[in-house]
Chains A and B, each alone.
Chain A
Amino acid sequence: MSASQAGMPATQTMKALSALASAAGRGFVEFADVEKSYDGRTFAVTRMNLVVARGEFLTLLGPSGSGKTTTLNMLAGFERPTHGTITLEGQPVDRLPPYQRNIGMVFQNYALFPHMTVEENVGFPLSVRQVSKADIASRVARALDMVRLRQFGDRRPTQLSGGQQQRVALARALVFQPSLVLMDEPLGALDKKLREHMQLEIKQLHMMLGVTIVYVTHDQSEALTMSDRVAVFNHGAIAQLGSPDDLYKAPQSSFVASFIGENNTLDGVVDRVSGDQCRVRLNGGGELIALAIGVTQGAACHVAIRPERLNLTPASAGDNALSATVDGRIYLGDHLRLLARLANDQVLTVKVGPEATMANEETVTVSCAPNDCRAFPADAETGGAIPKQGKAA
């Protein structure tokens, strides 16, 4: 494995990777230095190294245009890598057309065949594999039972709701028992409530069948809910790969910190680095001790703090504290969001219990443990310049 991924600093991810890879004997799916360019100048995917373990639920998460769908299409066989190799169960698949890869795929727009009934749709992968009629009937029935659509077998896809259609697509992608299933934003077209319900359903199917799933989404909460591991994509490369917990608690870059969950970002300059901590002089005045994630002394940085890690106290107090005035209260039932305006007019969101009594215009102190503040270099990463490396030799 190469550790040279752009913007992917290192140890934790590599540890997780090698642990999973060794647990499975070797990677079930491996991307080795894979690159994809459509125009010969810019890369949709660059220097991709990724190992997916057998039975894993891996999510490719990222904003649109970050290369996650290209990665999925290369794995499915719809796109060929410009460079590098993809192996499936140890076999390189670069020369294998999609119909010989035995990979199930679920599409965002369902891609059901409108001229076939639900049963014919689900039976299609079996009939092209020359399975006998009786076998097809029983396996289709079982697959439809699995997604609880048995009674809709003789309907046309257009007579079903969006959620039902996606369940048919799921049954169709699973009925021929592929060991790998790809899902390309499968819930993107559904409303929020249905989406949450389907997330659970897909997760249950995953656990029940033990199938490996590579799932593409741009919805970070969906990624956190469903995945064993999440690969966060940015500008055609994996910015960070780890468990949802890892990504939420220990983002390794400013991009990941802001893309996953909610974060307050404060700009400043690194005053001094000592061990894994650093002192940051904030641009609006005040100082914070924060975890140093790749920052160097004297350089500009972003400090990211989760709203629930900020404490509000009425009086001025202690270290890592900034004074602020309450600028607004948003009541959300189980908790309360307070908007705290700092001296430089920057507004921090603070998540507190619903019993908090601070009133508007009240002067408060916002404080945070040094381990909950993460200082990232304020470099190109957050801005969004696309890395245009030359083709790897």
Chain B
Amino acid sequence: MSALQPSEVDRPALARGRSAAADADRKSVSAALRRAEFGDRLRSLLLAAPLLVLLALSFGIPIVLLLSRAVYDPTIADALPRTAAALSGWNGQGLPADDAFTALASDLKDDQVKGTAYELAKSLNARLPGARSQVLKTVRKLGDDSGQPPLEIMKSVPFWSAPSTWPAIQNGTRSFTSFYLLSALDLRWNTDGGIERVPPEQAIFVQVFLRTFLVAAAVTLATLILGFPLAYLIANLPKGPAAVLIVAVLLPFWTSILVRTAAWTVLLQKFGLVNDLLLWVGVASDRLDLMYSRMGLIIAMTHIQLPFTLLPIYSVMRTIQPSQMKAAYSLGARPFTAFRRIYLPQVFPGVMAGCLLTFILCLGYYITPALIGGASDQLISNFIANYVNVELNWEMAAALSFILLVFTLALFGIFARILGLDRLKLV
């Protein structure tokens, strides 16, 4: 091409040729780049693979399995296959036909033989309070060789003829259920197929969720009020004293949360140090009930959470050059104006990060409310633990966990949307 004089060449054609060639070049270059980068990506993925596998096996899969229990519960369906078949045509009004009773009787007999009767009784009891003893009683009667026909035995137990029993059984024979999730929000299906609130005397979880969020908010606010000035002080002190203060803040951080909570149970006793001090100073005229109270719970949680709020704020404060404030003053801003317009907007991401961290951690508090809180100060985690450890109702635990997770993620999403996720620097 270099041999041709430009004047001899059809210029547009040349330009087209060039651009086509350039396009082809670009394509081959980007393809080559992709190939080169693919190797890099593969290598970094391989390096991270052990961690990813560990996370998936020990964290991801168990969580998914547990949470799936909130909506998938085949216990009743597995235990009552014939009943399920007999009820498939039933419209849910009144009592089902006698063949459903017979089917249930034979299912119960089988269950006793298979040893799944207790499981069934427990699972049914979660939906139908009092069902456990009735099921076990019926199973015992069916097992007695009294010669009485199964149908009569069934009819002789009033429980099986109660209006709420059969809809609950029919509901339970569906493996996928919204029962637990609705219960976690104090809701249930009514007989018309609509959703309604459970009666007030059975409603607990909405109140517990609200309490959890309120306690978390109070602790977050308290850590912010205490932590912000301290972070400011540390960020503006000379290196030596600042290091001492940072160690003082971090020192409790290195102790287990259980130990710190136990320490607070000592301090907060009616005849403990805090009450002694309050009386001596004269703030309180009588000894306060700090143990097993909301106040004591918030005090202990605030102490434990303080570093989580403080450190992100401190790390942002340290990046703000002192000359920024000097510049603001020299430009005519009074100290409060300079603080509000120059300092605060710059530390705001740190404040949000610290508060969000503390708030989310508070939502999952378990040990501290268990040890320091009273009966009316138990947070949602205590209920979840109770369902897992005591009631052995993993479905309910899973449902509560799921609702808590959804709330937490929604809250995080709202914060992220308001602030812009890029401004949230989690240290």
Contact = CB atoms under 8 A, between A and B. Distances in A.
Interface of A: 76-78, 97-99, 101-105, 107, 109, 111-115, 124-125, 128-129, 172-173, 176, 182
Interface stretch (B94-102, B188-196, B327-335): B327-335
A113 B324 contact: yes
A97 B324 contact: no
Interface in B297-351: 321, 323-324, 326-335, 337-338, 341-342, 345-346
A107 B337 contact: no
A82 B292 CA distance: 57
B333 A99 contact: yes
Given A99-B338, A113-B328, A128-B331, 8 more contacts: A76-B330, A77-B329, A99-B329, A99-B334, A113-B324, A113-B346, A124-B333, A125-B333
A76 to B, nearest CB: 6
13 contacts: A98-B329, A98-B330, A99-B329, A99-B331, A104-B330, A107-B326, A111-B327, A113-B342, A124-B331, A125-B331, A125-B333, A128-B333, A176-B331
B332 A125 contact: yes
B323 to A, nearest CB: 4
B67 to A, nearest CB: 40
B330 A109 contact: no
A296 B372 CA distance: 86
A65 B29 CA distance: 56
Contact of B337 (A105, A113, A114, A128): A128
A107 B331 contact: no
* Dominant SS among interface residues on chain B: helix
Contacts of B321: 109, 111
B167 to A, nearest CB: 60
A15 to B, nearest CB: 34
A195 B332 CA distance: 28
Contact of B326 (A98, A115, A125, A176): A98
A105 B330 contact: yes
A115 B333 CA distance: 16
A280 B326 CA distance: 52
A143 to B, nearest CB: 13
B316 to A, nearest CB: 12
B326 A78 contact: yes
Given A111-B321, A113-B342, A103 B330 contact: yes
A105 B326 contact: yes
Nearest to B330: A105
B324 A99 contact: no
Contact of A102 (B323, B332, B334, B337): B332
Given A109-B321, A109-B323, A99 B330 contact: yes
Contacts of B329: 77-78, 97-99
Contacts of B330: 76-77, 98-99, 101, 103-105, 173, 182
A128 B330 CA distance: 11
Nearest to A76: B330
Given A97-B329, A98-B329, A99-B329, A111 B324 contact: yes
Nearest to B319: A114
A101 to B, nearest CB: 8
Contacts of A128: 331-334, 337, 341
A129 B326 contact: no
Contact of A107 (B327, B333, B334): B327
Contacts of A104: 330-331
Contacts of A115: 345-346
What 9 A-B pairs have minimum CB-CB distances, sorted nearest first?
Answer: A125-B331, A111-B327, A105-B330, A111-B323, A98-B329, A128-B333, A115-B345, A99-B329, A107-B323
B393 to A, nearest CB: 51
B377 to A, nearest CB: 40
Contacts of B332: 99, 102, 125, 128-129, 176
Nearest to A182: B330
A220 B326 CA distance: 26
Nearest to A125: B331
| Residue of B328, B332, B345 most packed against chain A (CB within 10 A) | B332
Given A124-B331, A172-B331, A114 B346 contact: yes
Contacts of A125: 331-333
Contacts of A114: 346
Contacts of B323: 107, 109, 111
Nearest to B345: A115
A319 B329 CA distance: 61
A99 B321 CA distance: 18
A172 B324 CA distance: 13
| Residue of A99, A101, A102, A173 most packed against chain B (CB within 10 A) | A99
Nearest to B342: A113
A109 B328 CA distance: 14
A125 B330 CA distance: 9
Nearest to B348: A115
Contacts of B326: 76, 78, 98, 105, 107, 111
Contacts of B328: 113, 124
B423 to A, nearest CB: 10
Interface string B131-146: 0000000000000000
Nearest to A175: B331
Contacts of B341: 124, 128
B52 to A, nearest CB: 35
A248 B329 CA distance: 37
Nearest to B325: A111
Contacts of A172: 331
A259 to B, nearest CB: 27
A112 B161 CA distance: 80
Nearest to B324: A111
A99 B339 CA distance: 13
A173 B337 CA distance: 18
A46 B330 CA distance: 25
| Residue of A77, A104, A107, A173 most packed against chain B (CB within 10 A) | A107
A116 to B, nearest CB: 8
A124 B333 CA distance: 9
